[in-house]
Chains A and B, each alone.
Chain A
Amino acid sequence: MTAVKKKTGLTSKQKFGLLLIAPSFLIILGLMIYPLVYSLGISVFNLHITAPWLGTTFVGLKNYLSVITDPDMHSALLHTLFMAAVGIGLGIPISLFFAIILNKKFPMRGLVRGILIIPWVIPGSVQGLLWSRIFDSHYGALNGILIQLGIIQDPVSWLLNPSRALFLIAFASLWGAVPMMTLLYLAGLQSIPDELADACHVDGANWGGYLRYIVIPLLLPITLINLVLRTIDAFTMFDLVYVLTGGGPAGATQVTGYYLYEAAFTKLNYGYASALAWLIAIAVTLLAIFYSRFTIKEDTAS
């Protein structure tokens, strides 16, 4: 018995365990780890997709350099940062406000919470369809409301104007993200003991004081999580741009996620696109690390 155990080094329980993880391990190895390594390879080699007889040539960091120096990429990056800024600047106050409401007791609160998560579960392309019906140049709901309120006289081509289109897509994307941001804040609010709010009242602080001295400082870690998630979302944003504008008008809504898709699957520039994908992945990871460090520091300081 001991001899057998020594030979394989595994107990029967462990063998059973390895058998259980084998299918998952093979799937992850074949469809995630291998492509990940492959992707790194593609980014430093030229595959000559359109001229395969040329074979594969090593190009080193050339693809990375052309991404970094590409002016189209610079504007896509700026648009992405703008998306993130709108998501954070508008999304954080809106979702904090919603979370404070949902933390109060009122009849049918469970139902309202159920309704709250609807935007989060609607497929991205349907969200694109939905906003296309609202921002439509002729018969959109936004034009309808604004004309009825007398704010505008004639329909406005919302998505055909470069400076408006980017903001409107950022807003549409924010709508889909508010539920998750709100739920994160709500979980944070529920962890604040009621005594703190009572003590605040006794000390004569008003609602603004409660917000400023208790809610905002105590929820700072959650605010940082929301910052990370919005930034990651902005970097990987794709569905809404694909359906609503296709990066237009005149590249005004070109963002890194969509730019990557076009480079890879419209221009078939695999080397360039892989380098870009790696740079996005690195940026996202660095942001996550930066924010998480900051969060930990804040935690230990308080």
Chain B
Amino acid sequence: MSINTTTQHSTGFYVKKIVSGFFLTLAILLLLFFILAPVAWLFISSISSQKDLLQMPPTWFPWPPDFSRYKQLLFGAAGANTTLTDFTLKAFRYSLRNSLIIATCVTFFALLFGSMAGYAFARIKLPLGDKLIYLLLITQMIPVAVLLIPLYIMMQKLGLLDKLPTVIALLTAIHLPFAIWMLRGFFQTLPAEMEEAAMVDGANRFQVLTRVILPVSLPGLFSAGAYVFMQSWNAFMIPLIFTSSDTTRSVTVAIAMFVGRNYTDYSLMCAAGVLASLPPVILAVFFQKYLLSGLTAGAVKG
């Protein structure tokens, strides 16, 4: 009797489990489709031939894949039968280089100044310290749109328009409050005894910062750095407004120009889009943990 009920119960249990497993699998597939289908189409378009894309319905899975656009974008010259010119390809390569310079420099300066200020706010009781922290919070809430016109007029007057250092300085300023805020939070989690011990051993304040604090702060610096790198690589409005020539344009702006000029070589355009997305996507997939701790700290940025 008792054995019988147990068997009945477990059969029902397994049926239920299989049914719920089926629905869960279905739901996961739905999620993956929603997220990946648009990206997958960008990638598939980039390895399709012109003919595959210019028919209705398009070839969903082109075979064999054609990676020649990537080679052409990175190293090659424009072919005879494209609407492209060598100049456009060169401008795209410039833009990739510019974005790399911009994102690297912004990350470097935001981390350098951000860790200095973050350390000071976390460890030293400064005159007006509390008020300065509030100022920091307020600057983090300012919508960038309010700053664009005055910054543009200022840079115009100083003759600094269309220069990479200007873009770097502006993006550094925009991301600095976040970097200070996040690194301050990180430094607060480190035990103060560490510095005191080093001071007793005869290290000066600067040595304490560079030899004791910095090495143990690498995870915090990496999180803030990954977030700032992604944000400055993806920046669009600042480079769009503050640069105007092919040699200073960022890759995000170059992509927008590609779409705007109505090239019909869709595969080439999509390959350019894939290349422009690679650095942030690599950060997202391989350094997810760091990027997300940056996200939680920077989520409220308007």
List residues of chain A with CB under 8 Å of any chain B CB: 9-10, 13-14, 16-18, 20-21, 23-25, 27-28, 30-36, 38-39, 42, 94, 97-98, 101-102, 104, 106, 112-126, 128-134, 138-139, 141, 143-145, 147-148, 155, 175, 178-180, 183-184, 187, 229, 232, 235-236, 238-239, 242-243, 257, 260-261, 264-265, 270, 273-274, 277-278, 280-281, 284-285, 288
Nearest-neighbour CB distance to chain B for A165, whole angstroms, equals: 15
**Cβ-closest chain A residue relative to B115:** A20
| Complex interface: chain A residues within 8 A of B283 (CB) | 121
Is B54 interfacial (CB 8 A cutoff)? yes
| A260 to B277 alpha-carbon distance, docked (Å) | 27
In the assembled complex, 12 residue pairs joining A and B whose CB atoms fall closer than 8 Å, in A order, are A10-B127, A20-B117, A28-B136, A98-B31, A115-B36, A116-B35, A125-B255, A128-B255, A133-B270, A144-B58, A178-B34, A260-B145
| Complex interface: chain B residues within 8 A of A102 (CB) | 31
Of B7-15, B61-69, B166-174, the one contacting chain A is B166-174
Contact check: which of B113, B150, B285 meets A35 at CB < 8 Å? Answer: B150
| Complex interface: chain A residues within 8 A of B38 (CB) | 119, 130-131, 134, 175
List residues of chain B with CB under 8 Å of any chain A CB: 24, 27-28, 31-32, 34-36, 38-39, 41-42, 45, 53-58, 60, 113-114, 116-117, 119-121, 123-127, 132, 135-136, 139, 141-154, 169-170, 172-174, 176-177, 180, 205, 230, 233-234, 236-237, 240-241, 251-253, 255-256, 258-260, 266, 269-270, 273, 276-277, 280-281, 283-285, 288, 291-292, 295-296, 299-300, 302
Nearest-neighbour CB distance to chain A for B247, whole angstroms, equals: 19
| A265 to B155 alpha-carbon distance, docked (Å) | 14
A20-B117, A139-B58 known; A115 and B32 CB under 8 Å? yes
**Cβ-closest chain A residue relative to B282:** A121
Contact indicator B124/A24 (Cβ below 8 Å): no
Contact indicator B139/A32 (Cβ below 8 Å): yes
| A138 to B264 alpha-carbon distance, docked (Å) | 12
A141-B58, A270-B153 given. 19 additional CB < 8 A pairs? A14-B125, A21-B126, A23-B117, A25-B132, A31-B147, A35-B146, A35-B150, A113-B288, A114-B288, A117-B284, A117-B288, A129-B269, A133-B270, A143-B56, A180-B295, A239-B236, A243-B260, A277-B146, A284-B143
**Cβ-closest chain B residue relative to A176:** B38
Nearest-neighbour CB distance to chain B for A171, whole angstroms, equals: 11
| Complex interface: chain A residues within 8 A of B288 (CB) | 113-114, 117
| A38 to B149 alpha-carbon distance, docked (Å) | 9
A98-B31, A117-B288 known; A236 and B145 CB under 8 Å? yes
| Complex interface: chain B residues within 8 A of A33 (CB) | 135, 139
Contact indicator A285/B141 (Cβ below 8 Å): yes
Nearest-neighbour CB distance to chain A for B176, whole angstroms, equals: 6
Nearest-neighbour CB distance to chain B for A147, whole angstroms, equals: 6
4 closest A-B pairs (Cβ-Cβ)? A17-B124, A31-B173, A144-B57, A38-B150
Contact indicator B56/A24 (Cβ below 8 Å): no
| A113 to B292 alpha-carbon distance, docked (Å) | 11
| A187 to B291 alpha-carbon distance, docked (Å) | 15
| A146 to B58 alpha-carbon distance, docked (Å) | 12
| Complex interface: chain B residues within 8 A of A30 (CB) | 173
| Complex interface: chain A residues within 8 A of B176 (CB) | 24, 27-28
**Cβ-closest chain A residue relative to B180:** A24
Contact indicator B147/A120 (Cβ below 8 Å): no
Nearest-neighbour CB distance to chain B for A107, whole angstroms, equals: 10
| Complex interface: chain A residues within 8 A of B151 (CB) | 31, 35
B contact face: mostly helix, strand, loop, or mixed: helix
Question: Which of A28, A123, A139, A260 lies at the interface centre, i.e. has the most chain B CB atoms within 10 A of its CB?
Answer: A123
Contact indicator B116/A138 (Cβ below 8 Å): no
Nearest-neighbour CB distance to chain A for B267, whole angstroms, equals: 10
Contact check: which of A16, A101, A120, A232 meets B31 at CB < 8 Å? Answer: A101
| A278 to B273 alpha-carbon distance, docked (Å) | 34
Question: Which of B32, B38, B60, B288 lies at the interface centre, i.e. has the most chain A CB atoms within 10 A of its CB?
Answer: B38
Contact indicator B291/A122 (Cβ below 8 Å): no
Contact check: which of A28, A39, A180 meets B173 at CB < 8 Å? Answer: A28
| A30 to B154 alpha-carbon distance, docked (Å) | 10
| Complex interface: chain A residues within 8 A of B147 (CB) | 31-32, 35-36, 39
A39-B149, A39-B150 known; A97 and B27 CB under 8 Å? yes
Contact indicator B143/A281 (Cβ below 8 Å): yes
Nearest-neighbour CB distance to chain B for A296, whole angstroms, equals: 16
Contact indicator A42/B149 (Cβ below 8 Å): yes
**Cβ-closest chain B residue relative to A148:** B57
**Cβ-closest chain B residue relative to A105:** B24
A27-B176, A180-B295, A243-B259 known; A101 and B57 CB under 8 Å? no
Nearest-neighbour CB distance to chain A for B230, whole angstroms, equals: 6
| A126 to B280 alpha-carbon distance, docked (Å) | 12
A23-B116, A35-B150, A115-B35 known; A126 and B277 CB under 8 Å? yes
| A257 to B288 alpha-carbon distance, docked (Å) | 30
| Complex interface: chain A residues within 8 A of B154 (CB) | 35, 38
Nearest-neighbour CB distance to chain A for B121, whole angstroms, equals: 7
| A229 to B142 alpha-carbon distance, docked (Å) | 14
| Complex interface: chain A residues within 8 A of B58 (CB) | 139, 141, 144
Contact check: which of B39, B145, B259 meets A132 at CB < 8 Å? Answer: B259
Contact check: which of A24, A101, A235 meets B28 at CB < 8 Å? Answer: A101
Contact indicator A124/B285 (Cβ below 8 Å): no
Nearest-neighbour CB distance to chain B for A152, whole angstroms, equals: 11
| Complex interface: chain A residues within 8 A of B292 (CB) | 117, 183
